[in-house]
Amino acid sequence: MTMNQIPLVEVTDLKVYFKGSAGILKSRDIKAVDGVSFTISKGETLGIAGESGSGKSTLARSLIGINKPTSGSIAINGTQISSFKNSALRPIRKKLQMVFQDPYDSLDPRFTIFESISEGLQIRNLAKSEIKDEIANLLQTVKLPVSLASRYPKELSGGQRQRVAIARALATKPDLIICDEAVAALDVSVRAQILNLLQDIQQESGISYLFISHDLSTLRYISKNVAIMYAGKIVEIGSSDNVLTHPQHPYTKALISAVPNISGKRGTKIKSVGEPPDPANLPGGCAFNVRCHDVLPQCSIETPKLLLNLNDSKVACHATANNRNSDSSKGGELHV
């Protein structure tokens, strides 16, 4: 893929603010997503990691049009979708689909599997006989027996339901599927099945994923690039090998050291104190400064910009920026 080709998805300076609870004198906006930019190319996976309140789910919902962006732009194949009216958006919106966390809630319990999946097909105006064939194809794509089509979600296991949800998303022939914690609610042994299935589908159809997860190990496995979100902003973004093996931002470092690892004891331990901030009441400057070990005086005043780092990842941190300026050989790498 050449550099000047238009990326599949281009999100530029996206902001999603909510009206906060009105105080006596003023109401404070909740900045759920605050100036996020990224691109996803065809056939690629971008992973987004962050803790609760980091804005990763709001970001996903604003991409599929559930939450209206306050400002910024979302472009699919070069076409702006954030400026369209709802009805004009419909044909473009189906290019973006979503697979949700809770397979017990994402399928209408009153619909059979056949009916659920055919909802995704209805927008394609197929004939009745074509619908049946297409549903059989989709069920085979997600490796489910076609005989399940007449069942209700209640009769299926969690993994099977998640496969149905994937089939329903695929029914619209989307370019991008947003997986919002799509494997978090599944049993460990079933999780790997779904991850492999998603990869198989990607290899065959060249679909792109935006994979949202709090689990860095899963992101490492599934995604080529990864973005770390904190308090509505991306604090570090780059290839997952760079970001997860050589993290630059103190928050990324803390996050990685907090991940329990099956292959042995935790490595260098960087304990992060405190808790993720309340999105309605963020600290000034860099939102991480109250929990950070590397904090500088300017951190509580000035919000750091997302700057290109040495190893092609972008980091929003005053301390790493200073380190790089003063001593380019020392990147503050974390070897675990």
Partner 1 sequence: MKLDSTVNRIPTVVRVNSVSVGFPNRDGMDEVVHSISFSIDVAERVGLVGESGSGKSLTSRAIMQLVPKPGQITSGTVLLEERNISDSESKIDWRGSEIAIISQDPLTSLNPLVKIGVQISEMLIHHKGMQKSEARIESINLLKSVGLPNPKRTMNQYPNSLSGGMRQRVAIAIAISCKPKLLIADEPTTALDVTIQSQVLDLIESISTENQTAVLLISHDLAVVANFCSRIIVMYDGRIVETGPVNEILNFPKHPYTQALIASVPDLFDTSRERLQTIPGSPPIAGRINLGCSFAPRCTHASDICLTHIPKLEVSSDADQEVACHNPLKRVSS
Partner 2 sequence: MSKNDKPISDFKNSFEEIESALESTNFRSRAWGSLKADKVAFASVAVVIFLILVAIFAPFFAPKDPLFQYIDGLSDVGAPQGLGRHFLLGADQSGRDVLSRLIYGARVSLTVGIVATALASFIGVMIGAVSGYLGGWVESFLMRLTDIVLAFPILLFCIALIAVTGPSTKNVVLVIAFAYWTYLARIIRSQVLSLKEREFVIAARSLGLTTPQIIRRHIIPHLIPTIIVYSTLGVATSILIEASLSFLGIGVPLPQASWGEMISEGQKYFQTAPWLLVAPGVTMIIAVLAFNLMGDWLTDLFDTSAMGVKR
Judged by beta carbon, residue 179 or residue 256, the one nearer partner 1 is 256
The SS3 call for residue 277 is coil
Nearer to partner 1 (CB atom), residue 161 or residue 324: 161
Asked if 216 contacts 23 with a C-beta cutoff of 8 angstroms, the reply is no
Measured from the CB of residue 200, what is the shortest distance to partner 2 in angstroms? 5
Which window, 48-56, 100-108, 229-237, 293-301, contacts partner 2 (CB under 8 A)? 100-108
Residues 153-212 that bind partner 2 (CB under 8 A): 154-155, 160, 165, 168, 171-172, 193, 196-197, 200, 204
Rounded to a whole number of angstroms, the minimum distance from the CB of residue 9 to partner 1 is 23
Query: Residues 158, 160, 163, 165: is their CA dihedral positive or negative?
Result: negative
Closest separation between CB of residue 127 and partner 2, Å? 15
Strands 79-80, 30-40: parallel, antiparallel or unpaired by DSSP? unpaired
Q: Which does 256 bind (CB under 5 to 8 A by kind): partner 2, partner 1, none?
A: partner 1
Cα dihedral sign for 112, 117, 122, 123? Answer: positive
**DSSP-H helix ranges across 142-187:** 158-170
The partner in contact with residue 202, picked from partner 2, partner 1, none with C-beta cut-offs of 5 to 8 angstroms by kind, is none
β-partners of residue 71 are 15
Name residue 334's amino acid: L
97-135 b/e with 16+ CB inside 10 Å = b? bbbbbbbeebbeeeebbbebbbebbeeeebeeeebeebb
For partner 2, which residue of 20, 51, 123, 310 counts as binding (CB under 8 A)?
123
Q: Which helix (H) or strand (E) holds 255?
A: helix 250-258
Written as six digits, the tokens of 165 are 């949800």
| Token representation of residue 174 | 């989307």
Q: CB-wise, 71 or 122, nearer to partner 2?
A: 122
Eight-class DSSP state of 171: T
Residue closer to partner 2 by CB (options 91, 297) is 91
Give contact residues for partner 1 (rule: CB under 8 A): 51-52, 157-160, 187-193, 195-196, 199, 214-218, 220-222, 241, 244-245, 254-266, 271-272, 275-276, 336
Nearest distance from residue 163's CB to partner 1, in Å? 11
Which one of 39, 41, 70, 112 is in contact with partner 2 (CB under 8 A)? Answer: 112
CA distance 321 to 270: 20
Contacts with partner 2, residue ranges (CB under 8 A): 61, 64-66, 87, 90-91, 93-94, 96-98, 100-102, 105-110, 112, 114, 119-120, 122-123, 132, 136, 140, 143-147, 149-152, 154-155, 160, 165, 168, 171-172, 193, 196-197, 200, 204
